[in-house]
Amino acid sequence: MTMHIYNNEALYKRNIRGSFVASLLGMLALVGSVYVLFGEGQFGLYLLFLVLGIVLVQVGSWFSRWGRRADQGFNKALGSLDNHFSLYHYRSPVAHLLVAPSGVWMLLPRHTRGQVSYDSQKKRWTVKLPNILARLGQEGIGRPVAEASIDAEAIDRFLQKHWPDAQLRIQAVLVMMDEDTEVERVAGAPIPTASIKKLKHTLQKGDPKAHLTAAQRDKLNRLLHQHYPS
């Protein structure tokens, strides 16, 4: 049997639709601001339309990240794992969660292209791009350590409330979703970093102290289904 996958498809569809609507309204507001300025000559109304348009376009841009569908990338890369693995997309305290024999994993996706490595001296991830044009529309690495810390706290709160004696170790992995992205020299990174092509290998190992028994996996899965129903 294959891995269990639990997705919040309604949330994806709602936010993708929100991105389209916000972007469309923003563009209409910006066009309207030009018309008001040159057609009506009302500077105050022009500023109102301009600010409204900029805000709506930014909102649409933020929601557009839902269209990248990291869930589908994870499903494709990990779909051949067996039924000892359960993958949750927005059906847990965090965005992407894997319950596996190797432990509880928070999956942190990044749609970053190029060559990704970790600079131990500067204590940050670096991205080498093939050319300047590749920077257009490029997603940065951001602050994965801070993101992992916030997500781990969310899981800890969930466990303290529903399974106070769980004593589970939560692991995180930073995942480069673009199949052409190369990940190298990341041994010193504070969070394991993997390309989507090598993610399965990373998840099958993990910290031995974080491994879960079958009973632990079953109980955690039951709790997630109970408190994050479809």
Reading the chain (230 residues) residue by residue, the pLDDT tens digits are 789 999 998 888 888 898 899 999 989 988 888 888 777 667 788 888 889 989 998 888 877 777 789 999 999 999 899 999 999 999 999 999 999 999 999 999 999 888 999 998 889 999 887 766 555 556 778 899 999 999 999 999 999 999 999 989 999 999 999 988 999 989 889 999 999 999 999 998 888 999 999 999 999 999 999 999 87
CA distances from 124 to 22, 42, 79, 178 (A): 34, 49, 31, 20
Rounded-to-integer distance, Cα 20 and Cα 174, Å: 28
Please give the model's pTM, rounded to 2 decimal places.
0.85
Same domain assignment for residues 75 and 59: no
**Are residues 82 and 177 located together in one domain of the fold?**
yes
Q: Per the structure, how many domains does the chain have? A: 2
4 within some domain? no
Q: Do 150 and 169 fall into the same domain?
A: yes
- Quick one: 50 and 104 in the same domain? no
- Both tokens of 78, joined, read 């990990």
Co-location of 13 and 42 in the same domain:
yes
Query: Residue 131 contacts by C-beta under 8 Å, 6 or more apart in sequence?
Result: none
128 is a domain residue: yes
Q: Which domain holds residue 215?
A: 70-227
Residue 34 has a pLDDT of 84
Residue 2, in any domain of the structure: no
Residues 6+ apart with CB under 8 A from 221: 4, 86, 99
Look at residue 3 and tell me if it is in a domain: no
- Phi and psi, residue 162, nearest 5°: -110, -15
pLDDT of residue 159: 96
Indicate if 49 and 62 belong to the same structural domain.
yes
Q: Which two tokens stand for residue 59?
A: 């909102």
Question: pLDDT at position 132, please?
Answer: 61
Pair (99, 13) in one structural domain: no
Q: Are 81 and 129 part of one and the same domain?
A: yes
Asked if 21 and 104 sit in the same domain, the reply is no
State whether 39 and 148 are in the same domain.
Answer: no
| CA nearest to 190, candidates 153, 148, 128, 140 | 148
Tell whether 82 is covered by a domain: yes
- Residue 34 shares a structural domain with residue 125: no
pLDDT for 65:
76
Q: What is the pLDDT of residue 71?
A: 94
